[in-house]
Amino acid sequence: MRGAFLATPPRSMPPSPLPAGPDPTRLDAQPTGTYTHFTLIVPVSAMRIEATLPDPRAQQLADLADELQTSKSALIEEALALLFTSLIEARRGRRVAIIDAETQRVISQLATPALSQLEWAVHRQRIDVGEPGLLMAAEAVARPPRPTPALQKAMKKARKGRQG
């Protein structure tokens, strides 16, 4: 599936019309504002995806497309494939990791908000609490302990940070 990315002006301006013709593969970047708005157009189907990227991320996308001599659409397609594969593996209780080719040692693990949310949802466990435990929790909520001096100091520091 081939597609094209088109950069449109910031949302405060009316969007540029989409290019006519069978091969809409040009990029009209409008460097104004903090964000560049991209629209993915896939001629094979009626699906259209829009994404607003911060300028540094948009520049990374453009630089990577140039480096790999591919389109921005192809990069987005690969990113989505990686995300979908990661989500499937997370549902199976696995994690995506960066592994050193020589030592086979895990260097780091991929963590995104969607993967973390899915991992928490998959690993839910039932917790049984008896009546004594529930009464103890109700008592703690009804009469919480006084804040320690360290907590009072931290709260005072946080309040000053918000005010000033």
What gap in Å lies between CA 122 and CA 134, rounded to an integer?
A: 26
* Confidence (pTM): 0.47
pLDDT tens per residue across span 140-159: 999 988 899 999 999 998 88
Structure tokens at 78: 């690969």
What gap in Å lies between CA 139 and CA 141, rounded to an integer?
A: 5
What gap in Å lies between CA 99 and CA 80, rounded to an integer?
A: 21
Residue boundaries of the structural domains of the chain: 4-84
pLDDT tens per residue across span 55-69: 999 999 999 999 999
Which pLDDT belongs to residue 118?
84
pLDDT surpasses 90 at 70: yes
Which pLDDT belongs to residue 16?
43
CB of 37 closer than 8 Å to CB of 31: no
pLDDT tens per residue across span 28-41: 444 444 555 566 65
